[in-house]
């Protein structure tokens, strides 16, 4: 069995070829389709989703325990979401026999699999330009949204604006990731702007939202990051995703933005109706939602409007960690990355 540290996982993820990313995207899409198919069927369910246990730790952080299975691989993710900082924990993958395939540090996998889930739709939306991207946040999630958008739409993206409350995390992001992306994608203009260091921040947000084709929201905000009127002042079809708010009291986009497309795309209807502050605030009903797995299974246009905004809300499921963890363990095995230990 293989043990992958966070360093090993980052090493693999940062060196993925476009082809490998597309393979992982396909595997993720197939698994999400399987999940959605099961939700619609009356047959007994084999995928144990989107169940999760929330444990409040003695430091008042949340530890999530997320079991999942695609019936070939079974896994469990145990991860703590600290008040400040990225998710930390481990993903375990076992075979149908019970043999352990491996264990991975979950931090980077979590950010990657969430961004990749957003990309399952981003990559298929053709009526929306991808020239101007605006991101809210400055953590691992933002970094992976940007990396994957550039990998999947390298000739379309021209401007990326990253907006954050504080300056220090932006400085870190510039140093850790954006500096090398500037060299790798010289045609792309990257701007990192914080509220803390920018006196006219709100005006700048307004201007960039009016230009934006794509809006990635990646913060645990408890109130909308921008008002819908900032988008409405310059109407055009946009791709808007929100992955940061994962509890009922959290909200990254307001109700008007949420409802500004046709149906709202979600990773899981059940999970989003229970957990997404945006959906709960807007009192959204199941028939206003389109599950991404249903759309991907149809492999084409049904369910996707050819005009207007595409809004995608994702709260995350263990099945995403499982399929990506298995894929990464296979890549690691082939590339002799990680530590092999005897199965117990």
Ligand X SMILES: NC(=O)C1=CN([C@@H]2O[C@H](COP(=O)(O)OP(=O)(O)OC[C@H]3O[C@@H](n4cnc5c(N)ncnc54)[C@H](OP(=O)(O)O)[C@@H]3O)[C@@H](O)[C@H]2O)C=CC1
List interacting residues with ligand X (CB under 6 A): 81, 85-87, 110-111, 114, 137-142, 164-166, 169, 218-222, 243-244, 246, 314-316
Query: Which of these, 309, 343, 341, 320, lies nearest to 235 by C-alpha position?
Result: 309
Helix intervals (H) in the chain: 6-14, 18-40, 106-122, 140-152, 168-173, 179-184, 201-211, 229-232, 255-258, 269-275, 277-281, 292-298, 318-334
Q: Which is nearer to ligand X, 8 or 275 (CB)?
A: 275
Beta-ladder partners of 164: 194
Q: Which is nearer to ligand X, 4 or 142 (CB)?
A: 142
Number of Cα atoms under 13 Å in the Cβ half of residue 109:
32
CB of 65 to ligand X, least distance (A): 14
For residue 301, give every residue at least 6 positions away whose Cβ sits within 8 Å of its Cβ, in sequence order, or none: none
Give the pairing of strands 88-94 and 100-105: antiparallel
Q: Which is nearer to ligand X, 91 or 164 (CB)?
A: 164
CB of 19 to ligand X, least distance (A): 25
Q: Which is nearer to ligand X, 67 or 139 (CB)?
A: 139
Residue 23 DSSP class: H
CB of 195 to ligand X, least distance (A): 8
Q: Which is nearer to ligand X, 100 or 181 (CB)?
A: 181
CB of 245 to ligand X, least distance (A): 7
Q: Which is nearer to ligand X, 1 or 149 (CB)?
A: 149
3-state secondary structure of 320: helix
Residue 309 DSSP class: B
3-state secondary structure of 180: helix
Burial class (CB in 10 A: 0-12, 13-18, 19+), 281: middle
Q: What's the rounded Cα separation, in Å, for the pair 174 and 178?
A: 5
Q: Which two tokens stand for residue 117?
A: 């889930």
Q: Which two tokens stand for residue 248?
A: 């009922």
Query: Which of these, 236, 221, 205, 213, lies nearest to 308 by C-alpha position?
Result: 236
Q: Which is nearer to ligand X, 87 or 231 (CB)?
A: 87
CB of 174 to ligand X, least distance (A): 13
Cβ atoms of residues 76 and 327 within 8 Å? no
Q: Which is nearer to ligand X, 122 or 337 (CB)?
A: 122
């Amino acid at each position: 069995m293989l043990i992958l540290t966070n360093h090993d996982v980052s090493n693999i993820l940062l060196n993925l070829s476009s082809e490998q990313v597309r393979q992982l995207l396909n595997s993720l899409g197939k698994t999400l389709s399987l999940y959605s198919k099961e939700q619609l069927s009356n047959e007994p369910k084999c995928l144990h989703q989107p169940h999760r246990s929330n444990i409040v730790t003695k430091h008042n952080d949340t530890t999530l325990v997320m079991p999942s299975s695609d019936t070939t691989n079974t896994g469990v993710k145990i991860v703590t979401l600290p008040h400040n900082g990225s998710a930390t924990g481990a993903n375990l993958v076992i075979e149908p026999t019970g043999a352990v395939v491996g264990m991975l540090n979950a931090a980077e996998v979590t950010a990657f699999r969430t961004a990749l889930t957003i990309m399952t739709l981003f990559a298929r939306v053709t009526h929306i330009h991808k020239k101007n991207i605006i991101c809210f946040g400055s953590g691992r999630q933002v970094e992976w949204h940007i990396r994957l958008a550039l990998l999947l739409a390298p000739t379309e993206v021209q401007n990326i604006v990253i907006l954050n409350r504080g300056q220090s995390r932006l400085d870190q992001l510039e140093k850790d990731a954006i500096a090398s992306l500037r060299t790798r994608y010289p045609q792309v203009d990257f701007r990192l702007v914080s509220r803390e260091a920018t006196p006219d921040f709100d005006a700048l947000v307004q201007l960039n939202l009016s230009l934006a084709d794509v809006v990635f929201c990646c913060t645990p905000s408890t109130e909308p990051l921008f008002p819908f009127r900032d988008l409405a002042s310059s109407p055009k079809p946009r791709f808007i995703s929100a992955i940061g708010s994962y509890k009922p009291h959290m909200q990254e986009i307001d109700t008007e933005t949420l409802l500004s497309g046709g149906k709202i795309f979600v990773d899981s209807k059940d999970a989003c109706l229970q957990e997404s502050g945006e959906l709960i605030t807007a009192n959204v009903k199941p028939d206003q939602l389109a599950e991404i797995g249903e759309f991907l299974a149809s492999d084409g246009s049904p369910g996707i409007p050819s005009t207007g905004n595409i809004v995608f809300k994702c709260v995350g499921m263990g099945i995403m960690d499982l399929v990506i963890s298995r894929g990464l363990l296979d890549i690691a095995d082939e590339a002799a990355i990680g530590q092999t230990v005897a199965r117990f």
